[in-house]
Structure 1
């Protein structure tokens, strides 16, 4: 793994706040150890305030942008080389520190832990807003830009080889796809490991993705999601939803596409109260509505895990 040698110079350039730190070890064992994040406030809180009670690693690591891709008209995907000791679980986010920018960003990884192991990089997909960290990424960030990152979050999928099989229901709205895409990629990596071991590692169940966006342009990672469904047709399936599509749909997307919001009937088709573990990420109103529907369908609250992003 080749990572630029910029640890000392980057680390010295930050004067950091110190929110509650510490790594919570909550592997998926009966699902009871995963904490659901629930936040509400009349005023807009920044990332550090909203996540003050979430688990965080102690270490802040230097990092360097090594690639930038326009994922859509409003989303940039950063490829970031990280320190060899950097680690995360699929679904977690980072505190994102930028030299000269006072506000700290909060962005979920959209890559898998396997990519980090193979190439020493992580990826973030960030939607354009006027919030200073996102604005910097869209207007000033270049290949070679140096930042620092600290991993946090209690929303992740990290099974061990001996854990019982579960069926995943992943429900995403907009850029809420990021942590769920990381989970999907991680599940793909585990399936490959299981194939290589002749079925001796990781008892992986099925995974269904419900993903809603304004239009097909804003459906991030759609091609690779479809690839995963075609590589593992007995394991992966997806339904894309568009709520404001005004143009014709690409034919290769058509079999996966629905117009309108995610429906109760679709969720019901993928809920087994004994086997389903649901991860939700998106705008708060969507999370609240889907959570209620899932509860009404008999899924217990400890099997409904969510991350709300404002």
Structure 2
């Protein structure tokens, strides 16, 4: 069940709308399936206690890119003025003909949505036929490109964290399992674009798609940030699954196994000035958080969690 969080009202600035956040428990259980929504339990019901903007935004589905056999990227052009959101948040996404929204994590950066000339939002959606909004988005691109949708920003799993001043953080560790990379890539991009003086370490576990590493969601984007020194630190990739081709690491630090709590502890290093963001399947996230915050472990306020199931 989701934790009960503070109910907050959005603030409005001259440069666009922003979802303001009150003090929030850092371990924010935002019940999340691979597409955040199933017919058994609706996205709105599961996130009823989460903060969200009051207003709906008009967007146009401008572009669809196939990442691999199971995941697509969607670029949504904002039809209204630029907006402000916090890296890590999600969208209530209303598709044509369905009164119930799907919940999909924003993977673009806040700066992209605030661009005065061509503001946009980006989503990564895994194929999920039992989820009506995801199934609609997985129609033939030629049938839905150009469609108008309505969206609303929400969520409390964000960077920078609301309860810790940036000046008290020098080290950020991102731990992702599968599509749990989605909110974290928005946070990484935000750090890269804003030039925060932070050491960043990424542990990314993924099942290899048919294309091998080339098809791992956002891996090229993240690698480029490190290569171009927009992010300072290191990236470790942990792969599972059967891949018939040769794994081309392209100077990546690739481990053909699942990561462990010890891998994460090693990445954290000094606990007092670090924060950790963990997102992925519940079994993975629970083990990592318990391992980090157990006996004489990290302050729980410095471990942020979002899990899906």
Paired positions, count: 274
- 272, 278, 281: which one pairs with 2:279? 281
Q: Which residue of 2 aligns with 1:125?
A: 124
Measure how far apart 1:159 and its partner are.
7.0
Stretches of structure 1 that go unaligned for 5 or more consecutive residues are 1-19, 192-201
Cα drift, residue 97 of structure 1: 0.5
Against the structure 1 CA distance between its residues 39 and 91, is the aligned structure 2 distance closer, same or farther, given a 3 Å change threshold? closer
CA distance in 1, matches of 2:120, 2:303: 30
Q: Using the alignment, how far apart are the partners of 1:124 and 1:106 within structure 2?
A: 10
**1:105-155 CA distance string (max 9 Å, x none):** 101111111122233011000000011011110115622011100000011
Determine the structure 2 residue equivalent to 1:158: 160
Distance 1:212 1:252 in 2: 14
Q: 1:184, CA displacement in angstroms?
A: 0.5
| 8 Å Cα contact 1:89/1:157 also seen in 2 | yes
| Matching residue within 105, 109, 114 for 1:112 | 109
Write the distance in 1 (CA, Å) between the matches of 2:29 and 2:74. 28
Question: Is contact 1:34–1:155 with CA below 8 Å preserved after alignment?
Answer: no
**2:207 aligned residue (207, 214, 219):** 214
Q: Secondary structure at the match of 2:267?
A: coil
Please give the root-mean-square deviation of Cα atoms over the aligned residues, in Å: 2.5
Note if 1:180 corresponds to 2:184: yes
State whether structure 2 residue 46 is matched by structure 1 residue 69: no
User: Alpha carbons of 1:57 and 1:72: their partners in 2 closer, same or farther (altered >3 Å)?
Assistant: same
Quick check: 1:22 aligned with 2:9? yes
Q: Does 1:37 align with 2:28?
A: yes
CA offset digits 1:276-300 (Å, max 9, x no partner): 1111111111111111111137112
C-alpha distance in 1 between matches for 2:8 and 2:271:
34
- Determine the C-alpha separation between the residues in 2 that align with 1:227 and 1:174: 19
TM-score, normalised to structure 1's length?
0.81
Tell me, yes or no, if the aligned pair for 1:212 and 1:219 is still in contact at 8 Å: no
Once the two structures are TM-superposed, the CA of residue 34 in structure 1 deviates from its matched residue by 5.1
Q: Confirm or deny: 8 A CA contact 2:178 2:280 kept in the other structure.
A: yes
Offset of residue 21 of structure 1: 6.7
How far does residue 102 in structure 1 lie from its aligned partner after superposition? Answer: 3.7
Structure 1 segment 5-20 matched on structure 2, within 5 A: none
Conserved? CA contact 2:173–2:276, under 8 Å: yes
In the alignment, is the contact (CA less than 8 A) between 2:104 and 2:123 conserved in 1? yes
Distance of aligned partners of 1:95 and 1:140 in 2 relative to their CA distance in 1, 3 Å threshold: farther
Residue 143 and residue 214 in structure 1: after superposition, are their counterparts in 2 closer, same or farther (change >3 A)?
same
Asked if the contact 1:174/1:218 (under 8 Å) is kept, the reply is no
User: What is the DSSP-based 3-state SS (H/G/I as helix, E as strand, rest coil) of the residue aligned with 1:111?
Assistant: coil
Shift of 1:76: 0.8
TM-score, normalization: structure 2? 0.81
Specify the SS of the correspondent of 1:262: coil
Runs of 4+ deviating beyond 4 Å:
none
Over 3 Å counting, the alpha-carbon distance change for 1:143 and 1:217 in structure 2 is same
> How big is each residue's C-alpha offset from its partner over 1:75-98, in whole Å with a ceiling of 9 and x where there is no partner?
110000112143211100010011
SS of 2:9's equivalent in the other structure is coil
In the aligned structure 2, how far is the partner of 1:255 from the partner of 1:159? Answer: 29
The gaps in structure 2 that reach 5 residues or longer are 1-6, 11-18, 33-38
Q: Secondary structure at the match of 1:99?
A: coil
Q: 1:234 to 1:111 in 2, by over 3 A?
A: closer
Where does residue 291 of structure 1 map in the other structure? Answer: 289
